[in-house]
Amino acid sequence: MSRQIVVPFGPQHPVLPEPIHLDLVLEDERVVEAIPSIGYIHRGLEKLVEKRDFKDYVFISERICGICSFIHGATYCQSVEKIMGVEIPRRAEFLRAIWSEHSRMHSHLLWLGCFADSMGYENLFMNCWKVREKILDVMERTTGGRIIQGVNRVGGVSRDIDAEELKRIASGIPGLRADFTELTRIFDEDLTVQTRTKGIGMLPRDKAWDLGAVGPVLRGSGHAVDTRCTGYGAYDELDFKPVVRNESDCYARCMVRAEELFTSLDLVENAIDRIPAGDILTKVRGNPTGEFHARAEQPRGEVIHYVKANGKKNLVRHRVRTPTLANIPPLVHMLAGCELADVPVIVLTIDPCIGCMER
Amino acid sequence: MKIGVMAITVLKNLVKGPDTIRYPSQPAKVTEATRGHLVNHIEDCTFCSLCQMHCPADAIKVSRPDRTWTLNQFQCVICGCCMSYCPKDCLLIEQTYLPPTTEEIIVTLIGPDEEKPEEQRNGGNRG
Ligand code: SF4
Ligand code: SF4
């Protein structure tokens, strides 16, 4: 047996957009074990809930993550609305769904770009981000923010999308679909992508379930689990089928995300067709009492926002279970036995969002 | 598995030129909705401190005795929360982004004197 050495990976590493540290125990070039350590960017956002008015906290909950911010804000609002017994206008639920799906598309395109970058494929990286810019333009036009939308409120949303703008979004969909088709074709056919992803970072179907994987990691291992199937918000009225792949490797997780771009586009189209007219914000009076946990599907998987309140304007507890944390044990399993050169690619396939994991 | 699947896209991109703009020498794209930076029409402000109380980023300091309203532009995340609480609607978000800088910018606005309400009104009209 050869000698074992430990190579640190991160917290600063070219492929890591955010800091996570892995101690890789190597035997020659093969990883025997990966030991993760987290906690580099803990910001104490959950604690802030005790100091801030529960309505102002929406802005903080949105800033838990710099990529899937909209869905964090919406899920926090969902949970507070639930304990206050507030029924939000149907139109607001549809608007949240439209923005959530745009968030998902921009997050997946960002990830596809970073993934290409982790293989050293700069050209493809830039192309993904070029397409992503079109989604961000829609976000900025409709909400005022490219990444942090700031339109969620307890009781609905603060901005409406008028009929003309909805038409404009709908007219952009065929162009986006063509762009997505081209990108998916490249990821599906390119020799570089294939050799770097196929059969690498295996997470068998039963292991994915046992280790509690969520989101595209779980769906890439053959489980049709997606929180949107529970029909929260407007999703009960929208046609939706989760994307599932059975290969269980890096390629499968990549293709799940690529194909989810199309489902998101279909959902947006669907929502624009069915959006009802009406109010967008219900006036919320009083303070919340009780506890609830709301679940939603983020680009990275299922997120849970737990809130507890005792009739004061500050909540007692806010706890977020983010998808990245759930995907760390599966990551450790995937890394055991892989080649050192494949580590960046495998780490990226869980779409690590450390900022939101550590809050 | 093929090679050169991106060749056509690459050629197209080469012909088309860059998709990016040279910000900040070229102005950034903004829309009507863009949240660029926060301004206060100080002549209408009553120094009630509601904006300070509700700012999630603790970016505002209001002093009623000194009649000053101070904004730390580095700390402000342009969320618009303060705007929704202002009873006088004197806070406004403008579309343009602030220029990049390496130093903290703190804006202090001093309100017109309270003792002379007449002058204040005239001043407001002139502005
Ligand atoms: S809330 Fe409005 S009126 Fe009150 S101090 Fe702030 S800016 Fe002035
Ligand atoms: S825009 Fe937001 S962060 Fe900026 S001063 Fe107002 S409340 Fe504070």
**CATH number, residue B80:** 3.30.70.3270
- Please count the other Cβ atoms lying within 10 Å of the Cβ belonging to residue A257: 27
**Which pLDDT does position A105 carry in this prediction?**
92
* The two three-digit tokens of residue A65, written as one number: 């993550």
What residues of chain A lie within 8 A of the CB of B35, using their CB? 144-145, 150
B90 domain residue, yes or no: yes
State what percent of residues in chain A have pLDDT above 70. 100
Nearest-CA neighbor of A297 among A103, A124, A144, A146? A103
B21 domain residue, yes or no: no
Say whether B33 and A133 touch across the interface (CB within 8 A). Answer: no
**Predicted confidence band of residue B114 (pLDDT cuts 50, 70, 90):** low
- Please count the other Cβ atoms lying within 10 Å of the Cβ belonging to residue A300: 30
Mean pLDDT of A200-208: 86
B91 domain residue, yes or no: yes
Cα–Cα distance for residue pair A358/A320, rounded to 1 Å: 10
What SS3 class is residue A104? helix
Domain that holds residue B92: 26-126
Tell me the residues of A at the B interface, defined by beta carbons under 8 Å apart: 52-53, 56-57, 59-60, 63, 123-124, 127, 130, 133, 137, 140-145, 148, 150, 158-159, 182, 185-186, 189-191, 194-195
State the DSSP H helix or E strand holding residue A150, giving kind and residue range, or none if neither: none
**What is the amino acid identity at position A122?**
E
Question: Ligand 1: distance of its center to the CA of B95 in Å?
Answer: 20
Torsional class of A93: left (φ above 0), alpha (ψ -120 to 50), beta (otherwise): alpha
What SS3 class is residue A224? coil
**Which pLDDT does position A338 carry in this prediction?**
85
Cα–Cα distance for residue pair A205/A203, rounded to 1 Å: 7
What SS3 class is residue A5? strand
Q: Which ligand is nearest to the CA of B56?
A: 2
- pLDDT tens digit sequence for A106-159: 999 999 998 888 887 888 888 899 899 999 999 998 988 888 888 888 888 888
Q: Check pLDDT > 70 for residue A231.
A: yes
B59 domain residue, yes or no: yes
Helices (H), A147-302: 163-189, 191-197, 205-210, 216-219, 250-274
- If one counts the domains in chain B, the total is 1
Mean pLDDT (chain B, rounded)? 80
Architecture of domain A41-324: Orthogonal Bundle (1.10)
Dihedral sign of CA atoms A159, A162, A168, A174 in order: positive
What residues of chain A lie within 8 A of the CB of B96, using their CB? none
Terminal CA-to-CA distance of chain A, rounded, Å? Answer: 42
Question: Which residues have CB under 8 Å from A329's CB, separation 6+?
Answer: A211, A212, A213
The ligand 2 atom nearest the CA atom of B93: 1
**Predicted confidence band of residue B5 (pLDDT cuts 50, 70, 90):** confident
Please tell me if the CB atom of residue B38 comes closer than 6 angstroms to any atom of ligand 1. Answer: no
* The two three-digit tokens of residue A116, written as one number: 């290409």
Q: Where are the domains of chain A?
A: 41-324
What SS3 class is residue A254? helix
B11 domain residue, yes or no: no
**Which pLDDT does position B121 carry in this prediction?**
41
**Residue B31 · residue A141 · CB < 8 Å:** yes
List strands edge to edge, sheet with B60-63.
Answer: B60-63, B68-72, B106-110
Q: Check pLDDT > 70 for residue B116.
A: no
**Model pTM score:** 0.87
**Which pLDDT does position B127 carry in this prediction?**
32
Please state the ipTM of this predicted complex: 0.77
Task: Kindly tell me the burial class for residue A99, based on how many C-beta atoms sit within 10 Å of its own C-beta (0-12, 13-18, 19 or more).
Answer: buried
B12 domain residue, yes or no: no
Residue B73: C-alpha distances to residues A171, B61, B93, B106 (Å)? 38, 12, 12, 6
B13 domain residue, yes or no: no
